[in-house]
Structures are given as C-alpha cells and as structure tokens.
C-alpha cells in the first residue's frame, strides 16, 4: 500500500570537480565514491514508511553527469523500473505523457480465496562479516563458450544466465570453504510475465517475479561437475508456476516479509534484458547503465562492452576479503586461465567529490 502524501520524490542536485575520464577506462561496478554520488538521506533506506525513490544528479566538469537512483523494490522489479525511467525520459524529451501508461493491478497475484498448499521457504538471517570487499568480474562471449564446454550435451540449451550462475554458485562455495554437509542455497528472480493467462497487462510495473531456490550441500557442489549445479537450477526453474507465485504472495501476506541474507545463501539477478544503458533522458545512450555494485550475498548480470570493444557481461561481487582471491582463482581455473583475468583492474582513487 502506498500513502499518496503528495510530497513527491527525494531529488538531489550536485556538482563534482572530476571528469568522467577520471573514473577510468572501465566504467562498470563497483564505482568509487558511491556514498557521495547517491547521498544517504536519513530515514530513506528502510522498506516501510520511507520514500519510494531517491534520485541524485551529479554534474561533472566534462559536462557529463551521473544519474543515480535508489528505488523501493516492493513497488517494482527491474523491468518495471526500466518502464518508469523510459517514461521519464520521454517526458524529459518533450512528450506530454509516457507512451506506455502505468498500470497497477496487484490483485492479479493474490489467491486468498484459494486453498493454501506448499509454502515457500528461504534461509534465515545470520548476518554478514564486516570485512566485505567489492570487485567486478567480466566475461566475454568466448569465456561463456568455454564454460559451456564443461557441461553435458543434453543440457547445452541452457541460458547464458544459468551457465554463469552455476559457475558462480559452485566457485563461491569452494571459496567459502564451508562444512561439506552444510546447505548452500542459491536463489534467483524468475520473470513470470509469460506464465499468466490472461497476460499481465501492458504497463504493469510491479514485481512480476518469483525467487526460485536451488539447494545443495557444499560437498556435492564442490565435488560434482558443473552440470550438477546447472541441472538443479533448471529443475527448480521448471517448477515455477502461476500457483507457485500466488503461494508466495499469500505467504508474505500472512507470515511477513521473507529474508535470505544468510552468508551461505547466494542470489544472482539478471539485468541483461532491462538495458538501463539505453534509457534516453535527452542526452542519448549512457556510458553505463545498471547496478552500481554488488551486495553481500547478491550479484547482478549487467550487459557491458569493455574498452577493447568486446561485448560481454559484467558481474559485481561482494565477498569477505579472504574469500575473493580463492573465488577468482576457481573461476580462472575453470576457464583454463592463470592470474586474475576475469577480475576488473583496481579502480582509480578519486579525490572527494
């Protein structure tokens, strides 16, 4: 529920004595000085009783600017945010209204009049270490093909997201060095717009996704081949149905919000289809569009072209400092590489903005 108070959204204008070039050749997460590029307005970081949007526009010396936004995920998913930003861009370029009008029909996902079946379970919260570090991985199409050669022929039709996620899940587990009997949950949001009949209305901007959850013991993930993790993911994804979505909606309504920030749990979200970099608010295509950084236990797949012109996928990762090196080493071993080939070079140190 939204209290339409008429207060608008939080909007900040800022200036920085730096140019875009000073952020380095590789414009991908994690970005430096984020606490200044998106000011932490007191009282704006919770879920309930907080603003829906926080936007900061920072103008640079080179006449470029950084458009940073934090949104309340209870209101929309990535595609819903893309719809909002595209409409905002259309109005900024002179339109009187968005070409796709917003629709809010959340009752489509409720089933309070239906029998309640299996409930959706997620890991509990144990907290996260204090020594977390942020890094960025980059995988070219050649890297992704190399990963595909490691999986059985009968599951070669899996998506790029599934291949990369299975690799990340397995290598992260090896790097964390948990007890072999410990459960290592992997969660990812599944876009379920195509499941509903009649279809979800055009313009609906709310969350149309469900978190699928695959669980394996650490021992099985570490010792079995990559295809094992991949098959677990594909089996779980095939079980996501309209009834599953409504069961989740019911469970949240009756049991409260679900949390899955246990250090063992890992979530990967696919932002490749959102194409935030293509949003035009009057200045053309952005140099980068997507998540600013990963979070503890959560990464994103972001479309990205490096400074050599190679298309691929950037993945921001946040891990304890002692784990990151082992994680990157495992990924490079799978690719048959040495060194830190998939790891982003260290970012330049910027002065205070």
The tokens 């952020």 sit on which residue? 23
CA dihedral sign of residues 245, 248, 252, 253: positive
Distance CA 324, CA 328 (A): 6
Least confident of 80-89, 123-132, 238-247, 344-353: 344-353
Instruction: Please give the Cα distance from 243 to 263 (Å, whole number).
Output: 29
What positions carry a catalytic annotation?
Answer: 73, 280
Is pLDDT at 22 greater than 70 in this prediction?
A: yes
User: Taking the mean position of all CA atoms in its chain, how far away is CA 315?
Assistant: 9
Distance of alpha carbon 18 from alpha carbon 21, whole angstroms? 8
Q: How far apart are CA 268 and CA 197, in angstroms?
A: 27
Residue pair 267/187 in contact (Cβ under 8 Å)? The answer is yes
pLDDT at site 119: 40
pTM: 0.84
- pLDDT band of residue 122 (cuts 50, 70, 90) is very low
Q: 229, 211, 207, 209: which is closest to 219 by C-alpha?
A: 229
Q: Does residue 11 carry a pLDDT above 60?
A: yes
For the chain, how many helices (H) and strands (E)? 8, 9
pLDDT band of residue 84 (cuts 50, 70, 90) is very high
List of long-range contacts for 66-69, beta carbons under 8 Å, 24+ apart: 66/16, 66/37, 67/281, 67/286, 68/34, 68/37, 68/38, 68/292, 69/38
Q: What average pLDDT does the segment 211-224 reach? A: 92
State whether residue 245 is helix, strand or coil.
helix
Instruction: Give percent above pLDDT 90 in the chain.
Output: 46
Strand pairing partners for 317?
135
Most confident residue range from 71-85, 109-123, 250-264, 324-338: 71-85
Q: Is the pLDDT of residue 233 over 80?
A: yes
**Residue pLDDT, tens place only, 137-171:** 999 999 999 999 999 988 888 899 999 999 999 99
């Amino acid at each position: 529920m939204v209290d339409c108070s008429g207060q608008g959204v939080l909007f900040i204008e800022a200036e920085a004595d730096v140019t875009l070039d000073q952020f380095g050749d590789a414009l991908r997460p994690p970005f430096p000085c984020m606490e200044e590029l998106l000011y932490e307005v007191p009282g704006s970081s919770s879920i309930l009783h907080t603003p829906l949007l926080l936007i900061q526009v920072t103008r640079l010396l080179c006449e470029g600017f950084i458009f940073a936004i934090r949104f309340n995920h209870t209101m929309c998913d990535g595609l819903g945010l893309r719809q909002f930003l595209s409409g905002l861009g259309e109005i900024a370029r002179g339109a009187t209204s968005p070409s796709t009008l917003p629709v809010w029909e959340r009752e489509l996902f409720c089933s309070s009049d239906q029998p309640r079946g299996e409930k959706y379970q997620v890991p509990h919260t144990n907290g996260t270490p204090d020594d977390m570090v942020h890094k960025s991985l980059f995988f070219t199409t050649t890297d992704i093909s190399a990963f595909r050669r490691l999986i059985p022929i009968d599951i070669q039709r899996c998506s790029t997201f599934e291949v990369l996620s299975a690799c990340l899940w397995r290598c992260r587990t090896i790097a964390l060095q948990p007890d072999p009997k410990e459960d290592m949950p992997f969660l990812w949001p599944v876009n379920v717009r195509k499941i509903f009949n009649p279809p979800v209305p055009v313009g609906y901007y709310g969350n149309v996704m469900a978190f699928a959850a695959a669980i394996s013991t650490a021992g099985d993930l570490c010792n079995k081949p990559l295809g094992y993790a991949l098959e677990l993911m594909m089996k779980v994804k095939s079980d996501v149905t309209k009834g599953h979505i409504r069961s989740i909606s019911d469970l949240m309504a009756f049991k409260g919000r679900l949390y899955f920030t246990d250090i063992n749990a890992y979530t990967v979200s696919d932002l490749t289809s959102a194409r935030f970099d293509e949003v035009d608010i009057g200045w053309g295509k952005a140099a980068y569009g997507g998540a600013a950084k990963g979070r503890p236990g959560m990464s994103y797949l972001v479309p990205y072209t490096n400074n050599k012109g190679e298309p691929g996928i950037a993945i921001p990762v946040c891990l304890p400092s002692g784990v990151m090196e082992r994680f990157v080493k495992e990924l490079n071993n799978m690719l048959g590489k040495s060194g830190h080939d998939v790891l982003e070079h260290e970012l330049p140190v910027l002065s205070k903005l």
